[in-house]
Chains A and B, each alone.
Chain A
């Protein structure tokens, strides 16, 4: 048994410690908003927050996140920064197929939680998830929009 805290809720899971967090989220907990794209931490579709920092859950073993705070896309709007990110994603009409966008929203939330007003080079360094629909310019516009909003994020 491994105990995890996911979206503020304690979960006791009967899974081996080397199981990737991604598959526990999707198959054991039914949280399918976090996506499988490559399984080798290349695409970022599986991005979640661990203690507020983005991680690629497809290569994150359960035992590495036991006792830490995990946030998935299902709860991102409960985070004030995450909520602003989602609104920016809607305003800028970012998504096309949408498959990568859970991960993009999580990556942007992580960046903006750590740096309320990131500059373009910081945005470029942080937003590395792949999008085959090529929504990169819309993603950048949405992140810049939140980054330019007043006050501390």
Chain B
């Protein structure tokens, strides 16, 4: 997902409601929506033609009489801190303190397609970097409108006015007006032409680039934050489901149906596509009843989406991937591989494996659906792409997309979980149930049902070969990944080109190795697939960077010195690698004995994910056969930044997920069945496994990269390389698990 995956099927020029209040839903009485800027006729004309995303100030901002500001964020807040970043960026140009903002997730609509001005997802670590200029200009437009209103109210020429945070100031007379006072006057003034919008000199930034406190922190510390699972609407009933144990099976018969229907609190029992549902006034009754149902599952006679084979096992699949021969589709090639291997002093080869992973976001998926008397549908659900869900929900409901209103509460974690995944989200079931019973329905997937239907981070095997010269330096590297990428997996068909999300991380490496060949052998995954935090990079940098350490070992090279050598002439990455070594107090690979007597070693990893460059170091020991990670140091260079405090938090978070993956996590199947369906069997990183994390932010001035995901990919190889060094034995698969 470093490259754009695909554009959503969203009509960019859809007509929108251009009434002043239409944009801001649920505005407090007496609150005034800032400026519309266009005479009604012209606004209509523009609305009917095409909305330029991110240009219409009132679609985003409401300034209240008390000078507080409500911002509708085009990006979903799910922990990554995007609300705060948006307030910093808009506030900087609007000249308003970000702490005076309250932020909400924006509804579906063409105004919010601000990802490169053409689409809207919260993912791919795109939010800030893809909308930075747009959101700055939006803030500046708002400021220009307030200045115009100020000139009129204060009766002075526009040129004599300036702003201070939250107010327009006439320095000559000392008179001023607050933004809250001016908002109603700004309402009818024309929006400035794009050419008239001036942006602040970055040298004068007060909030961008500074440690701004998160705007959602107190609500999240006191239980007041509202997630989809907390949705309550009048007259709502609750629903729970039992999914078919294997995708593709259908309900044949419920052998104890009468018993289920007679259970306390049960409203009704429903056969859905591949699932049984129970509806009840209370969730617990629905859940208890549906879990008591004895269902005979039968195979579908019609073709279904990615049916799970009855004999599927992840253990066998890992072996199959490692040995599969087939058509090698080349993604990257350079030099003359045959000649390089022919003239090699030494060659080596190795095969690596990765595992399936759940997202395991802590908020189980839910959907609340309500059909309204006017033929519209309200839908509350966790999502990373409101317009895509709007379009898909419309198909399910059989109504026009504009009749579907998407509500997007806070995400209780996402990590790629909340895109459109066929059979992987509850909203089609909630819509169907709401239609059948004629009342609003809230459906929650229990953790067990979630782990059964959560689409997974792909498994892969990668076969490497390398050629070394007489000095022990690599002259050629080959990587053949046997896998199915998430993009081709979700679509359930291959695209005209290779799936970047399958190979990113074994492609795009920056080391100067003159001969290379990076290829994929496509093997379809029996499971459903998904994007998972840092997508292809989540495993591919593990493969490449650990094999690079093998190359170093084979050639008698130090892994740090080899990386520096291969990065000669690349000032950005050389600086970054040196920065992480400096942060760790020098390069001390070990094994060495720590002050507490434990034997330890350190390892390195680097990655170039999502427009950002990263370098990580880990220090490990072995305790009771388990890898103990003591410290992780990471230097990140996203080019330029908005909030260093949130970057540090995101790196901590990505380190935790990267460690979880490399140490303990794996989704296991046997006989077509999912083995562990809750946290008692599916291990994730526990608090006692969290190391100290040290972060250095390097601002090279390169084009802005992402932040939410890039902190992950360099961590697993840093850990695996340290463990390999400590044990004198190469680690070639994730998770490392129990060390023999």
Binding site for B on A (CB under 8 A): 15-16, 19-20, 23, 26-28, 30-40, 42-43, 45, 72-74, 76-77, 86, 89-90, 93-102, 105, 124, 127-140
Query: B684 to chain A: which residues have CB within 8 Å?
Result: 130, 132
Tell me which of B221, B412, B690 contacts A90 (CB under 8 A).
B221
Q: Is B206 an interface residue (CB 8 A)?
A: no
- Secondary structure dominating the interface of A: loop
Q: Shortest beta-carbon distance, B69 to chain A, in Å?
A: 21
Q: Shortest beta-carbon distance, A143 to chain B, in Å?
A: 11
Task: Flag if A23 contacts B222 (CB, 8 Å).
Answer: no
Q: Is B584 an interface residue (CB 8 A)?
A: no
Task: Flag if A27 contacts B221 (CB, 8 Å).
Answer: no
Tell me which of B78, B218, B221, B656 contacts A97 (CB under 8 A).
B78
Tell me which of A27, A31, A89, A124 contacts B283 (CB under 8 A).
A27
Q: Which 3 A-B pairs have the closest CB atoms?
A: A33-B223, A134-B656, A98-B220
Query: B415 to chain A: which residues have CB within 8 Å?
Result: 132
Query: A93 to chain B: which residues have CB within 8 Å?
Result: 213-214, 217, 645, 649
Q: Shortest beta-carbon distance, A135 to chain B, in Å?
A: 7
Tell me which of B656, B679, B686 contacts A38 (CB under 8 A).
B679
State the CA gap A38–B645 with chains docked (Å): 30
Q: Shortest beta-carbon distance, B163 to chain A, in Å?
A: 29
Task: Flag if B220 contacts A95 (CB, 8 Å).
Answer: yes
On whether A40 and B360 interact (CB within 8 A), knowing A27-B284, A132-B415, A136-B690, the answer reads no
Q: Across the two chains, which residue of chain B brings its CB closest to A129?
A: B687
Q: Across the two chains, which residue of chain A brings its CB closest to B689?
A: A136
Q: Across the two chains, which residue of chain A brings its CB closest to B281?
A: A27
Interface string of B216-260 (1 = CB under 8 A from A): 111111111111011010000010000000000000000000000
Task: Flag if A134 contacts B655 (CB, 8 Å).
Answer: yes
State the CA gap A30–B654 with chains docked (Å): 34
On whether A98 and B446 interact (CB within 8 A), knowing A23-B282, A93-B214, A138-B652, the answer reads no
Interface string of B680-702 (1 = CB under 8 A from A): 10001111101011000000000
Binding site for A on B (CB under 8 A): 78-81, 213-214, 216-227, 229-230, 232, 238, 264, 282-284, 360-364, 410-415, 444, 446-447, 645, 649, 652-657, 678-680, 684-688, 690, 692-693
Task: Flag if A136 contacts B656 (CB, 8 Å).
Answer: yes
Query: A102 to chain B: which residues have CB within 8 Å?
Result: 222-223
State the CA gap A131–B692 with chains docked (Å): 16
On whether A97 and B361 interact (CB within 8 A), knowing A30-B232, A36-B444, A102-B223, the answer reads yes
Query: B447 to chain A: which residues have CB within 8 Å?
Result: 37-40
Query: A140 to chain B: which residues have CB within 8 Å?
Result: 687
Query: A90 to chain B: which residues have CB within 8 Å?
Result: 217-218, 221
State the CA gap A23–B287 with chains docked (Å): 11
Task: Flag if A132 contacts B687 (CB, 8 Å).
Answer: no
On whether A138 and B649 interact (CB within 8 A), knowing A30-B232, A40-B679, the answer reads yes
State the CA gap A105–B218 with chains docked (Å): 12
State the CA gap A86–B218 with chains docked (Å): 8
Task: Flag if B282 contacts A27 (CB, 8 Å).
Answer: yes
Q: Shortest beta-carbon distance, B396 to chain A, in Å?
A: 25
Task: Flag if B690 contacts A37 (CB, 8 Å).
Answer: no
Task: Flag if B687 contacts A128 (CB, 8 Å).
Answer: yes
Scoring B217, B283, B655 by chain A CB atoms within 10 A of each residue's CB, the highest score goes to B217
Q: Shortest beta-carbon distance, B382 to chain A, in Å?
A: 10
Task: Flag if B222 contacts A131 (CB, 8 Å).
Answer: no
State the CA gap A26–B649 with chains docked (Å): 30
Query: A96 to chain B: which residues have CB within 8 Å?
Result: 79-81, 649, 653
- 28 residue pairs A–B, Cβ–Cβ below 8 Å: A19-B284, A26-B230, A26-B283, A27-B283, A28-B282, A35-B363, A35-B412, A36-B364, A39-B446, A40-B447, A74-B222, A76-B223, A93-B217, A93-B649, A94-B221, A95-B216, A98-B412, A99-B361, A99-B362, A99-B412, A100-B362, A130-B686, A131-B362, A133-B653, A134-B653, A136-B687, A137-B690, A137-B692
On whether A45 and B284 interact (CB within 8 A), knowing A33-B224, A90-B218, A133-B656, the answer reads no
Task: Flag if B362 contacts A86 (CB, 8 Å).
Answer: no
Q: Shortest beta-carbon distance, A123 to chain B, in Å?
A: 9
State the CA gap A19–B302 with chains docked (Å): 41
Task: Flag if B223 contacts A74 (CB, 8 Å).
Answer: yes
Query: A97 to chain B: which residues have CB within 8 Å?
Result: 78-79, 220, 361-363, 410-414
Query: B224 to chain A: which residues have CB within 8 Å?
Result: 33
Query: A30 to chain B: which residues have CB within 8 Å?
Result: 232
Q: Shortest beta-carbon distance, B660 to chain A, in Å?
A: 8
Query: A138 to chain B: which residues have CB within 8 Å?
Result: 649, 652
Task: Flag if A101 contacts B220 (CB, 8 Å).
Answer: yes
Task: Flag if A134 contacts B652 (CB, 8 Å).
Answer: yes
Query: A27 to chain B: which residues have CB within 8 Å?
Result: 238, 282-284
Task: Flag if B221 contacts A72 (CB, 8 Å).
Answer: no
Q: Across the two chains, which residue of chain A brings its CB closest to B691?
A: A137
On whether A77 and B283 interact (CB within 8 A), knowing A39-B447, A133-B413, the answer reads no
Q: Across the two chains, which residue of chain A brings its CB closest to B78?
A: A97
Q: Across the two chains, which residue of chain A brings its CB closest to B415?
A: A132
Tell me which of B213, B283, B410, B678 contacts A42 (CB under 8 A).
B678
